[in-house]
Structure 1
Amino acid sequence: MDFVDPKDPVEVQNDKLSRIVESLIRRVEQASAPSELAYAQFERAAYLEAQMLQQTRALERTLDQLSESKEKLGVANVAARAARAHLSEAIEAIAEGFALFGPDDRLILANSRFCVNLKDVTPHIRPGLAFRRYLQLVSESEFLDLGHRRSPEDWMNWRLALHDSNTASFNVTLMGDRYFQTSSQRTATGGTVIMHSDVTDLIRVERQERDALMDRQAMLLQATLDHLDQGVCIFGEDGGAVGQNRRLVELLHLPPQLSGKKLSAEVMQEHMGRTMTFPHGFGADDLGDWMRNAATQPPIAFEVRQGGRIFLKVFGRHIPSWGVVMSFTDVTAERLANNALRDLNEGLERRVEERTKALGEALRDAERATASKSRFVAAASHDLMQPLSSAKLFISSIADTSEDEQILNVIGKAETSLAHLEQIIEALMDISKLDADKVVMDRRPIPLENIFGILRDQFTPQAVAKGLGLTVVPSSLLVESDPGYLRRILENLISNAVRYTDRGRIVVGVRRQGNSARIEVRDTGRGMTEDEKRVIFEEFRKLDPGSGPAQGLGLGLAIVERACASLDHPLSVTSVPGEGSCFSVSVPILDAYWGSDRGMIAESPVLAEPNCDGIIVLLVENDRQLRRALSLHIEGWGGLVVPAESAEDAVELMNEAGIVPDALLLDYHLGEGPTGLDVYHRIAGQHGPCACRIVTADRSRNLRRYCTDHGLEILNKPIDRAQLLDFLNEVSAAKRLMEAG
């Protein structure tokens, strides 16, 4: 066990041990106990003496270390005092004012130049000064120039806001045109270093240079203003005169007492209000209000009249930190010209209105004439189809019953003439429909090769007869167009190429151009001049006027142009006289080939063998000649014909005879009464559906759609014998099949 507390100082421990030793010695000397006890006490006393000796040595070492530390501390204090003295000397040697505030925003040290220009603040610059108190002293200093719009509180709040940032630099204006720059920087420990630099000389030099520059700029600005053809004046923010040019004096016709000095905004307003006429709703007072509040107003522009015939355009704008700039432009010549132009325009408008009215009447007359012509051509063509059908059928009947070569030769020529006549009538009908814009195009996918094959077979004999080569290049493209009109377009182009080519060859082919197929018809014929190219698409225009009607009436290219326009197929022609021509039509290409079973155009049918024995045909036709011709043909093929002129006659005959026909041939147009469709519906209503063909020269889309919707087919005039015979053969075959079953 320990007899002393190790936590006690060494002196206290030694004193305790000394007393314990002395006490033990006395006890040994005075004790009468046995020797063993005395020996134990002696050992304890020896142990205590050893501890005391050890503690004494430890105390000596501690005292030595303390003495050494005290010596080092003295050296350090000397070095610190020397360093502080050196720092003070260095800070004092700085040319700028210097101050260091601690993290607690209290002044630690500052040199004598800090706030030297604020003599009423300098006595308070001592260590321990609070930063806010420092700012308060500066803001209230009589040497600080706060300007006209700033209070000490405003300045102090502004400076405190800057103190929140790590760095700040700004200029402070003092009384007596003196300035110093303040720079503050936050230290790593959170303190703040502030430097004051006297920049009075620098700012004064800059001001002198700026004033000199502004003087030069003012001279340059004045020279520029005097060079302008506009009158210009500049007012300050307070409305005072800043500058103006000589042109302003001339335009405003200033009196002598005003022409020699710069105008203020008030004088300008008063002069303009006295000498000028302002626009309606805006006057001199309004101008004055705008100039006084220009900083918050948009730019202004208006015109004034000075005297009787002088017009000035005025424009004003506020320019920040400058004031108001106003310009005056003489627009008298422009206004007089505008007035003269307006009078001229009014006169022209009256003339144009009169001409437009006259042209409108002429256009209406032309439209009426065109409509009348189209109706006449359509009606005449339709009426011509009746006797044409009769003539064709009568001639065909004669050909079927005659074996005389001379008569057959004459019949062949007559059939050729009738075929040309039919082509002419169809061309006239096409022209009338296209002119009247009544054609509804049946756009659908068409394999070009289907058309090319027909054209190749159709025109090869004609080309060979003239000794020409005809090449129709095969094509696998699928295009979108109206199959009938596309074929008609190419037929006319190839027909013209054969007609006007005396030697060489004709090539029909396709060039793919993007999404279009460019179908070209090239020949090595006579070619055309530019004048001829401009007129070839006119009606009844032929480049070879000496050719007869058998060579056409000059309607083919007119039909081509109108059909291409209706189909939106671009048409172009190139030609060189003596070398040949090239007509091209561009048709849209479809993305995929649809197969040969779509868009097919059937070739002209071949006359089949008659097989119509015993069928009963109800024929309703109001044209007597055509009715007779059809009857002869049907009877010649073995059929029985029940002819009727009108719907009433047909129904009456059926009721009287008590028969049900096997086939119906019904003319669509039966005069003023019911149509062939009405006849069909009455018969079908009584006896049920019956095989029927509607005979008509009407090729309109509406009639075809109506017939399709009701399961009827059309037999166009002039009637094709092969189509008629095919129909009757089908009816006869169906009748025999039913009888056999």
Structure 2
Amino acid sequence: MIESLTDPNDPLDRQNEKLLKIVAALMRRVEESTDASGAAYAQFQRAAMLEQEVRARTDDLERALDLLNDSNARLAQANQETEAARANLANAIEAVQEGFALFNRDEEMVLCNSRFGLHMPDIQTKLTPGLRFTDYVGLVSQSRFLSLPGVVSPKDWVQRRMARHAEDHVVFNICLSGNRWMQVSEHRTPDGGTVILQTDVTDIMRFERQERDRILDDKARLIRATLEHIDQGVCIFDSKLRLVGWNNRASELLAIPNAQFQMGAPFQTLFHRLSATISFEGGVSDADLLAWVNRSTERPPLQFQMHSGRAKILSVFSQEMPDRGFVISFTDVTAERKSAQALVEAKELLEQRVASRTMELADALNEAERANASKSRFVAAASHDLLQPLSAAKLYVSTLGSGLDKADARAVAVKAESALNSVEHILEALLDISKLDSGRASVHLSSVPVGELFSQMEDAFRPMAQAKGLGLRFVGTDTVVRSDASYLRRILQNLLSNAIRYTETGRVLVGVRRMGKTVSIQVWDTGIGIAPDQRGVVFQEFKRIHSDASAAEGMGLGLAIVERACGLLKHPINLQSELGRGTVFSITVPSAGQARDALNSGEPSIQSRSDVLHRTVALLIENDDNLRGALCMTMENWGVQVLEAASKDEAANLLREIGILPDVIVADFQLDGGKTGTEAIAELTREFGQLPGCIISADRSTELAASCKTAGYLLLPKPIDAQKLKSVLEASVS
């Protein structure tokens, strides 16, 4: 009943207040009641019970108040701790070196530190708590410190930024004015909020760009070196049809000076330069090539052949690159085309030769019969040439028994021995001369002292000249030539024999004249001379100026053998004569110090005066195979004959083996085994004699320059410029 009078949900104070009012009311009713049955006592008893209950409720209320006060104290302490934690968090965020901002799940900024937006001072003051994320992105897009690409508008940037914001974790870079960079890291929190970190990465980006540029430069140099060492010519064009890369081989094949290849040159410009010198074949025209280049859609590979100049044939291959640029390569197929044409012609010639072979075999029988007769006459002529030194030896020996003193007898014996040696050499040469017609003749080049050869000729022919009352004079010389000693001796013997045979009075003079890097050996006589119409006849077999001469005067083979031997040795022969006054035969022979193996070349051995490097011999000492090959190719294009070696020892062995001295030595300064180019040239000079030297080196120190100057060597720095190399070689040879 009592419990129904109060509401349990009311506070204890309210409940106590109601109970006190109830107790007071009950007490008044008890005092005022006159019920005789004892109702007053019952009411009193109830009041006492209510008082006890009030006391109990009062105790509960006091305990509840104590608990409430304790909870309030704890709440206050928790609030203090929360404020301290908030302050610590703010201090920690402020201490972070990056810009920091926190947005809640409603996309509103909760807090940020002072570094957030520091790179954009024009909007930093607007970045405050309560700012919505979309407004923050809009402010960044309008900042004058944001550097956007030319094709991206602020609106486009906002769209891309909000698209990235939809992801849980985002990291990207923003370019700022002044070539600065900021990295933005955005991450989603577990309650749906967003944390943004802004980091200045300018130094990192600059270092990465420098490293990337360095790597690109290294790759560019590698690609350039590769292009320069391939046999094809290569031209690279970008998507705008501008020249961005090429090699020197392209300049050589297209006959365009390297100076005209310029970075960024339009394709049309280069094509117009070529249009006058090239012609297309294989169903492709210049219009087809231009259409392929200007095609807006994907270009399929294009291959064709074209003629460059009058003789060169190039195979051209064009292919598109992924960036819409294209590469054109040129391959010289002239040799292959000529080989194919030669095969076709050889097939036709073979068919013709098979058809005519039967007739040739019939003629061969008659020719063999004539050859037998010719051989008999040749033996007769050879025996006549042998009689000259044999006769001289016989006369010298006959004088030994005429009472000569010991010194004179020894001199006569030496001359007789020299004449017999001439016989021996003639016999050896006869075997080789017999091979001239068969094509099996071989020569052995060596250094031949002309003075010693003259001495032998004088001993052999002086008795014959004295017998006719002629003066025979050999002009002394210390000249050394490069030739085959046997054949050269045979040539002089025949020329002297003819000179004495056709000179009745006067004298015969033999001497040399220097002509640059060659020597002219000349035989003069005061004989009957040769008429102009007979000068081509005298070199024919069995032809003599005086047809009534006896067989004892020879069979007319002497000058024929001279002409063939000179042709074999590549020694040009010249004839000057005047009827009644005499004749001069001149043989041009390379000097030993400058001679090359002319037999391995189809060109004359006389050096062209218009090009000082033509036929020049250069010894190249370079330990790097690639550079050595490139230098050889470059110098050989100038007409230089290159003797290449990887070290000083290899170079010395090569010179000893071939017996040829170079005109100039080109050596790399840094060689294998700790050797230097200056040491190599010095050692070769001590062994083979003084030679011009040129040092190539990447060392640009004054010490090396002074060392080369002291030694008399020209210095060429790396990277090697072709024109400077050519100038250095010309200066060395001159």
* TM-score after normalising by structure 2: 0.45
Rg (Cα) greater in structure: 1
